[in-house]
Amino acid sequence: MRKTAEERKEQILTVALRLADELGPDRLTTGAVADTIGLTQPAIFRHFPTKQALWAALAERICREMTSSWQAALGGQMSPEVRIATLIDTQLHTIEENPALPAVLFSRELQVENGDLRKTFSGAMAAFRRLLHDEVAKGRDAGTFRRDLEPSDAAALLLSLVQGLAIRWSLGAREFDVRQEGARLLQVQLRLFAASPQRRA
């Protein structure tokens, strides 16, 4: 059955993301996408007139999915520590489901050639950092975290934990469970954030 224009666009984006993982973001071409799907390059260009437009749509889709997953993770009544852990696990799950993401974030395409792509991902990471900041601030105000803990510094450390782990997972040929390792390292970090028992009392 013939695909609708929207279905074809989604297919192109899905294949492009898979090829970015298999070939590397900097080697991804519209020709490779067309060959994989069984289309001509002009057919790809009908949906995405340039390679930059394809990357922009791909970034928007990933960031939309990330934002949706963060909001879903924050539903319900949970302590700040649990909400932080849920956010971190959700983001690592997104990376696990989109293994090209770490390579994309450090690719020449993102860092040098495509300012719009960089802006989209930077905006998403800033939003994720704000969510972490707010949960740390709630934990500090509740007396769970140290009173001298600066939420912006803590959020930067938590974001670095995710990004550093994602790169280690990617460079290590994904030979370990990234979510399990993330949960373990997060508990180490949260213990360093924790208020002493005397202060909690």
- Catalogue the E-assigned strands of 48-190: none
Q: Tens digits of per-residue pLDDT, 163-197?
A: 999 989 988 778 899 999 999 999 999 999 998 76
35 in helix, strand or coil?
A: helix
Backbone angles phi, psi at 128, to 5 degrees: -65, -40
Q: Tens digits of per-residue pLDDT, 98-138?
A: 888 887 777 766 666 677 777 888 899 999 999 999 999 99
Domains and CATH numbers, the chain: 58-200 (1.10.357.10)
**Which residue type occupies 141?**
D
Which 8-state DSSP code applies to residue 4? P
